[in-house]
Structure 1
Amino acid sequence: MPLQYLIVFASTHPEFRLPELSSVGELYGFTVTLPLALEDRDPTRPYMVVELDQEEHAFALARRCILVKAIYEFYGQGSSYDELHACTRANEARWAHYVPDTSFRFIVTAHNHKIPQSRQRDVVESFAYMALLGKIEMKNPQILFGCFEEYSSRNGLLRSKHEGDGQFRQVYFGRLLVEGSARQLVGIYDVKKRAYYGNTSMEAEISLLMANQTLAAPGKLIYDPFMGTGSMAYVTSHFGGLVYGSDIDGRQMRGKGKVPGVIRAAKAYGTDSRILDLCTFDVTRNPWRCGGLFDAIVTDPPYGVRAGAKRLGRKKELNEEQLKTFMEYRNNPRVDDQPYIPPTKPYELSHLAVDLVLLAQHLLRPGGRLVFFLPTVTDEYAELDIQSMVCEGMEVIANSLQDFGSWGRRLVTIRKTTDREYPRPSFEPEQPAEAGHVPAHKDFREKYFQGFKKDDGETGGQTP
């Protein structure tokens, strides 16, 4: 019979919480059953009561979920302490065996509020009906009971100290089962502590969330087609994934040393043996000759704010005379013996996103996942922006927003739902846009540097 557990979330990235719970559950082969009421499954709330079939599943979530701060064995909740105590009494079977001789401690805390010390003591004494006979131990108790009051956000409001005390939205009670250990990885993979990084390196917490969306695990083969300085390689390889990376600009991966910068950084983390190879090529002219190779594709495509996406080609076609001169130049040995560097042209974001999904359709194994960030203009975004890029055999299973105000970036997770083999995409050159839906991420670079101006000349918000 499923049992209920209280999850205490970290205060960051609320929209990423539920997709992460679902992904980690799928990774370990169990289901995280969310509350039935939409209000109770609101991901912006700091506490959530879920159902799990086994206690071991709670430990698995705490070991892997970046946004789980702690998990408690759930005893009760209510909009008042009378309701909370009634619920806790009804669950006496879950805590009665701790009564005789177990040392314990109570903590009373709140979200968006500070509870006065005197009322904290009153709350603890209100649980006297539990009749706990064990020793009160403040430093190393055998069990820790937690009581959590949830208050609505009061950001921007002036108020006196402890104003509104006791006017909480909901209160929860339970026994600490396990503290989240995965959050320690945020400090370990901090970009500032990394042996090699660049101005486009992804922050550690977001990288770890992306890695969980890929279901990275030992033996999984994972590909990053826009590797850059390797932010995704380190965290996916930490979880046991075998990583292959590529980029049109090999300098990003190599750096200046003899040993490629990505390999040097991975070696500092002890995961360099899981970086299979790094190659320089245009993803639209990739060397893959068969599909179904990878368990996941994870990437943060360049979208032109700090580094623009490129693909092979010329911005302007050569005329007949220029083409003749070029062919003579290319076919004759160069005096300085330097390699020929092909020209590149901008790769428009909306076209890149469609091509990325087509690439995933070809390269992913059945059930494999494509995980990538897509920047978008807040006021212009519509669900159709994401759905319009999805092709046959692929489905969107998560779409989480990291909000920066006038713009944001969406972590999109798309799964391959079929075992059908698809041909290698042709990646046709971008064609003039036809009449119809224009996604909010189209021409994102231009919109960003124009300050997201609307048609009436007003700006859509302050540019970050």
Structure 2
Amino acid sequence: MPPRDYLFVFAQAHDEFRIPELQSISELHGFTIDFSHYTDPLVRKAAVKRPFMILELEGDAHAKLLASRCILIKSIYELYAQGSTYDELHEANKGVRTRWEQYVSDTSFKFTVVGYNHRLSQRWQRNVIESFSYMDFLGKIDMKDPDIVLGCFEEYENDRRPDGSRNIDGVFRQVYFGRLVVEGTARSLIRTFDVKKRNYFGNTSMEAEISLLMANQTQAGKLIYDPFIGTGSMAYTTAYFGAFVYGSDIDGRQMRGKGNSICKTPGIIRAAAQYDVVSRIMDLCTFDVTHNPWRSGCLFDAIVTDPPYGVRAGAKRLGRKKVREDRPPPQVPRANPDEPYIPPTKPYELSALVVDLILLARYLLKPHGLLVFFLPTVTDSYEEVDIILSLCEGMELVANSLQDFGTWGRRLITIRKIVTNDYPPPTFETVGSCREGDDHTPSHKDFREKYFQGFKAVE
């Protein structure tokens, strides 16, 4: 059967994340999505800002797989027709009678008419439904549990007309018509993983929707590692999707959380129990990622993390900010020998951290494994080369999606290991680029200082 057009109805959130999420989940299940309606990059860029996209799939089964896993999908319809007027739409719909005539004789049905950027009057909705009378459906009208749902979507340009007045029914940009294949079920997970309802969380915990999107980018491999696990936001979602998770952090207090003599269970484990994924948390360890214990590579299917970049918590590594070469570090006796020793730390500059993270991923990932992480960038100075120059041999950029906060944003970066040969562990002595002799300054360099100076030039 040749591919058919399907109308994807999306939630109006994180629009740049849509296509990477679709491509990731389709790759996970071994099928492709045809984006032939959006071959022009400018058309595709404009399309992701709108609530609808027309994509080609081989059948309903693939649509159902996507809707069960993609967080940003609200529903998927088999597209019968579209037009800039109802005359165009009806003409096109009559031309594909073979697609819907099987439902004419005895199928219970329901019509829905929805406006985007405009609330339609009841009278207009009724007139639209009656305009489809030529379809001659003979089955029962069932508003509660119909065999099929036929949907008509009117897309208005803005919620107001250019002169400021309200939109008029029927004066739309485009109208679509089709049969409901599946409602998106994955969006309900946003409520399930709501941070406010979590047993344990901190001020750096990732919001539920974003952590779910990150989990989908990893394709939830068999074994996943988070080197900056913090309070475990990515661990819960990836474990829920079927992965076994290993986590580490330089600060064990983040993983443990507050407890008392009765409750010694780490906070991450307490929260994992809430989601019934405790058995999938392999282990939690405290160490500096630049002094890691990994003695062999090619261990993990994916690495997913949100490195600390300084807005709420700055990145740290072991060491002292200032070292006097003419004297050894002072040996300060602890007042209470039973208290755990907390070694000194120094700042870990973001651009160096990113390069080190990619080199570590190349060492630890299995062939074709994925690295997924957030990278903050300054809006006015960001260039695509910022990320390209951070890549090392054997690692390829797969996706780069922006969550825009105005003067700055954070980019969800997905990188794949494309080689099968082994690489040595990183030395963690990089300076922000994998290219020898490169003097380009990426927009994320010294991000913490730029953020607190309001993104003025750093002196």
Work out the CA distance in 1 between the residues paired with 2:160 and 2:356.
Answer: 42
Paired residue secondary structure (1:183)? helix
Call closer, same or farther: CA 1:20–1:132 in 2, change over 3 Å. same
Letter in 1 for 2:272: A
Aligned to 1:199: 203
Work out the CA distance in 2 between the residues paired with 1:276 and 1:121.
Answer: 57
Call closer, same or farther: CA 1:249–1:47 in 2, change over 3 Å. same
CA offsets, 1:288-333, max 9 Å, x none?
0111100000000001111110001111112323x0x63xx38x99
Residues matched between the structures, number = 448
Deviation at 1:13, TM superposition (A): 0.8
Call closer, same or farther: CA 1:305–1:86 in 2, change over 3 Å. same
Residue number among 308, 319, 329 corresponding to 2:314 in the alignment: 308
Letter in 2 for 1:282: D
Call closer, same or farther: CA 1:35–1:151 in 2, change over 3 Å. farther
Aligned to 1:230: 232
Residue number among 431, 434, 437 corresponding to 2:440 in the alignment: 437
Call closer, same or farther: CA 1:400–1:143 in 2, change over 3 Å. same
Residue number among 46, 50, 61 corresponding to 1:45 in the alignment: 50
Letter in 2 for 1:356: L
Q: Tell whether 2:79 aligns with 1:74.
A: yes
Work out the CA distance in 1 between the residues paired with 2:336 and 2:139.
Answer: 87
Deviation at 1:115, TM superposition (A): 1.8
Work out the CA distance in 2 between the residues paired with 1:153 and 1:13.
Answer: 19
CA offsets, 1:150-200, max 9 Å, x none?
122347977344x24322221111111110000010000000000000000
- Pick which of 235-244 and 430-439 moved more: 430-439
Letter in 2 for 1:437: H
Matched-pair contact (CA < 8 Å) for 1:35–1:49: no
CA offsets, 1:349-376, max 9 Å, x none?
1111111111111111111100000011
Gaps of 5+ in 2: none
Aligned to 1:462: none
Report matched runs for 1:249-288 at 5 Å: 249-257=251-259, 258-288=264-294
Paired residue secondary structure (2:37)? coil
CA offsets, 1:392-422, max 9 Å, x none?
1111111000001111100000011111111
Q: Tell whether 2:345 aligns with 1:341.
A: no
Aligned to 2:152: 147
Deviation at 1:338, TM superposition (A): 4.8
Aligned to 2:351: 350
Call closer, same or farther: CA 1:429–1:438 in 2, change over 3 Å. closer
- Pick which of 418-427 and 431-440 moved more: 431-440
Work out the CA distance in 2 between the residues paired with 1:11 and 1:333.
Answer: 54
Work out the CA distance in 2 between the residues paired with 1:242 and 1:32.
Answer: 28
RMSD: 2.2
Deviation at 1:80, TM superposition (A): 1.6
Paired residue secondary structure (1:341)? coil
Work out the CA distance in 1 between the residues paired with 2:215 and 2:83.
Answer: 36
- Pick which of 74-83 and 285-294 moved more: 74-83
Matched-pair contact (CA < 8 Å) for 2:352–2:430: no
Matched-pair contact (CA < 8 Å) for 1:33–1:52: yes
Call closer, same or farther: CA 1:200–1:333 in 2, change over 3 Å. closer
Report matched runs for 1:49-68 at 5 Å: 49-68=54-73
Aligned to 1:104: 109
Paired residue secondary structure (2:371)? strand
Work out the CA distance in 2 between the residues paired with 1:417 and 1:431.
Answer: 22
Letter in 1 for 2:172: F
Work out the CA distance in 1 between the residues paired with 2:347 and 2:160.
Answer: 42
Report matched runs for 1:167-178 at 5 Å: 167-178=171-182
Q: Tell whether 2:138 aligns with 1:136.
A: no
Work out the CA distance in 1 between the residues paired with 2:194 and 2:403.
Answer: 19
Deviation at 1:435, TM superposition (A): 7.2
Matched-pair contact (CA < 8 Å) for 1:40–1:48: no
Deviation at 1:348, TM superposition (A): 0.7
Letter in 2 for 1:256: K
- Pick which of 223-232 and 418-427 moved more: 418-427
Work out the CA distance in 2 between the residues paired with 1:335 and 1:51.
Answer: 67
TM-score, L = length of structure 1 = 0.92
Gaps of 5+ in 1: 458-464
Deviation at 1:33, TM superposition (A): 0.9
Letter in 1 for 2:67: A
Matched-pair contact (CA < 8 Å) for 1:376–1:444: yes
CA offsets, 1:95-117, max 9 Å, x none?
10100111111111121111222
- Pick which of 42-51 and 371-380 moved more: 42-51
Deviation at 1:434, TM superposition (A): 7.4
Paired residue secondary structure (1:36)? helix
Aligned to 2:376: 375
Aligned to 2:189: 185
Aligned to 1:421: 422
Q: Tell whether 2:251 aligns with 1:245.
A: no
Aligned to 1:11: 12
Aligned to 2:36: 35
Deviation at 1:88, TM superposition (A): 1.3
Aligned to 2:296: 290
